Amino acid sequence: MNNAAATNLKRITLELGGKSPLVVFNDADVDTAAQIAHRAAFANAGQCCVAGTRTYVQSGIYDKFIAKAAEIAKNRTVGNPYEDVQQGPQIDLDMFNKVMGYIEVGKESGARCIAGGKR
Protein backbone atom coordinates (compact mmCIF):
# COMPACT_ATOMS: atom_id res chain seq x y z
CA MET A 1 0.00 0.00 0.00
CA ASN A 2 2.82 2.40 0.82
CA ASN A 3 4.57 1.65 -2.48
CA ALA A 4 1.39 2.28 -4.47
CA ALA A 5 0.80 5.59 -2.71
CA ALA A 6 4.41 6.72 -2.99
CA THR A 7 4.73 6.15 -6.74
CA ASN A 8 1.56 7.31 -8.46
CA LEU A 9 -1.49 6.49 -6.32
CA LYS A 10 -2.34 3.19 -7.96
CA ARG A 11 -5.74 1.76 -7.15
CA ILE A 12 -5.17 -1.35 -5.01
CA THR A 13 -7.13 -3.99 -3.17
CA LEU A 14 -5.51 -5.65 -0.21
CA GLU A 15 -6.21 -9.33 0.42
CA LEU A 16 -5.49 -10.02 4.05
CA GLY A 17 -6.91 -13.51 4.20
CA GLY A 18 -10.30 -15.11 4.37
CA LYS A 19 -11.66 -14.19 0.94
CA SER A 20 -9.69 -16.49 -1.37
CA PRO A 21 -9.94 -14.30 -4.49
CA LEU A 22 -10.05 -15.49 -8.08
CA VAL A 23 -8.81 -13.27 -10.89
CA VAL A 24 -10.18 -13.75 -14.42
CA PHE A 25 -8.46 -11.91 -17.28
CA ASN A 26 -9.80 -11.01 -20.73
CA ASP A 27 -7.96 -13.91 -22.39
CA ALA A 28 -9.62 -16.56 -20.18
CA ASP A 29 -12.07 -19.13 -21.52
CA VAL A 30 -15.22 -17.65 -19.97
CA ASP A 31 -17.15 -20.92 -19.73
CA THR A 32 -14.28 -22.65 -17.94
CA ALA A 33 -13.58 -19.67 -15.69
CA ALA A 34 -17.25 -19.43 -14.66
CA GLN A 35 -17.32 -23.16 -13.85
CA ILE A 36 -14.15 -22.85 -11.76
CA ALA A 37 -15.50 -19.80 -9.92
CA HIS A 38 -18.77 -21.59 -9.24
CA ARG A 39 -17.04 -24.68 -7.85
CA ALA A 40 -14.69 -22.51 -5.77
CA ALA A 41 -17.58 -20.62 -4.19
CA PHE A 42 -19.98 -23.50 -3.69
CA ALA A 43 -17.74 -26.46 -2.82
CA ASN A 44 -18.90 -27.92 0.47
CA ALA A 45 -21.86 -25.52 0.30
CA GLY A 46 -19.37 -22.64 0.56
CA GLN A 47 -18.59 -23.67 4.11
CA CYS A 48 -14.81 -24.08 3.97
CA CYS A 49 -11.92 -21.80 4.73
CA VAL A 50 -10.75 -21.59 1.11
CA ALA A 51 -14.10 -20.94 -0.58
CA GLY A 52 -13.58 -18.60 -3.55
CA THR A 53 -15.85 -15.88 -2.22
CA ARG A 54 -14.46 -13.01 -4.26
CA THR A 55 -13.97 -13.00 -8.04
CA TYR A 56 -12.35 -10.17 -9.96
CA VAL A 57 -13.16 -10.21 -13.69
CA GLN A 58 -11.43 -7.96 -16.21
CA SER A 59 -13.84 -5.54 -17.90
CA GLY A 60 -13.50 -6.96 -21.42
CA ILE A 61 -15.28 -10.20 -20.49
CA TYR A 62 -17.23 -9.06 -17.43
CA ASP A 63 -20.74 -9.13 -18.94
CA LYS A 64 -20.19 -12.50 -20.61
CA PHE A 65 -18.75 -13.94 -17.39
CA ILE A 66 -21.67 -12.66 -15.30
CA ALA A 67 -24.21 -14.13 -17.74
CA LYS A 68 -22.48 -17.53 -17.64
CA ALA A 69 -22.05 -17.50 -13.86
CA ALA A 70 -25.74 -16.64 -13.40
CA GLU A 71 -26.75 -19.45 -15.75
CA ILE A 72 -24.67 -21.95 -13.76
CA ALA A 73 -26.04 -20.72 -10.41
CA LYS A 74 -29.65 -20.83 -11.62
CA ASN A 75 -29.17 -24.46 -12.64
CA ARG A 76 -27.73 -25.52 -9.27
CA THR A 77 -29.93 -28.13 -7.62
CA VAL A 78 -30.74 -27.23 -4.01
CA GLY A 79 -32.90 -29.32 -1.71
CA ASN A 80 -33.07 -32.43 0.41
CA PRO A 81 -29.51 -33.73 0.82
CA TYR A 82 -30.74 -37.33 0.70
CA GLU A 83 -31.92 -36.82 -2.86
CA ASP A 84 -29.95 -36.05 -6.03
CA VAL A 85 -29.03 -32.44 -5.26
CA GLN A 86 -25.85 -30.37 -5.37
CA GLN A 87 -26.47 -28.51 -2.13
CA GLY A 88 -28.57 -29.17 0.93
CA PRO A 89 -29.76 -26.61 3.48
CA GLN A 90 -27.62 -24.43 5.70
CA ILE A 91 -26.59 -26.05 8.97
CA ASP A 92 -29.28 -24.29 11.02
CA LEU A 93 -31.72 -21.37 11.04
CA ASP A 94 -29.13 -18.99 12.50
CA MET A 95 -26.76 -19.60 9.56
CA PHE A 96 -29.62 -19.37 7.09
CA ASN A 97 -30.63 -15.98 8.52
CA LYS A 98 -27.01 -14.84 8.45
CA VAL A 99 -26.71 -15.72 4.74
CA MET A 100 -30.01 -13.99 3.94
CA GLY A 101 -28.77 -10.95 5.87
CA TYR A 102 -25.60 -10.83 3.75
CA ILE A 103 -27.74 -10.86 0.62
CA GLU A 104 -29.82 -7.95 1.91
CA VAL A 105 -26.72 -5.95 2.91
CA GLY A 106 -25.35 -6.49 -0.57
CA LYS A 107 -28.55 -5.21 -2.18
CA GLU A 108 -28.66 -2.22 0.15
CA SER A 109 -25.07 -1.45 -0.84
CA GLY A 110 -25.96 -1.40 -4.54
CA ALA A 111 -25.25 -4.99 -5.59
CA ARG A 112 -27.52 -6.73 -8.08
CA CYS A 113 -28.71 -10.23 -7.20
CA ILE A 114 -29.01 -12.04 -10.53
CA ALA A 115 -29.54 -15.61 -9.30
CA GLY A 116 -31.41 -16.77 -6.22
CA GLY A 117 -31.44 -14.47 -3.22
CA LYS A 118 -34.75 -15.76 -1.87
CA ARG A 119 -35.77 -18.58 0.42
Domain ranges in the chain are 17-73
**CA separation, residue 3 to residues 12, 13, 16, 55 (Å):** 10, 13, 17, 24
- Find, among 13, 95, 2, the residue nearest to 47 by Cα: 95
Q: pTM for this one? A: 0.75
Candidates 15, 49, 83, 108; catalytic one = 15
Per-residue tens of pLDDT for the chain, all 119 residues: 777 777 777 777 776 666 678 999 999 999 999 999 999 888 776 667 777 878 999 999 999 999 999 999 999 888 888 988 888 888 889 989 998 999 999 999 999 999 988 88
What b/e readout covers 15-31, taking b as 16+ CB neighbours within 10 angstroms? eeeeebebebeeebebe
Catalytic status, residue 49: no
Catalytic status, residue 104: no
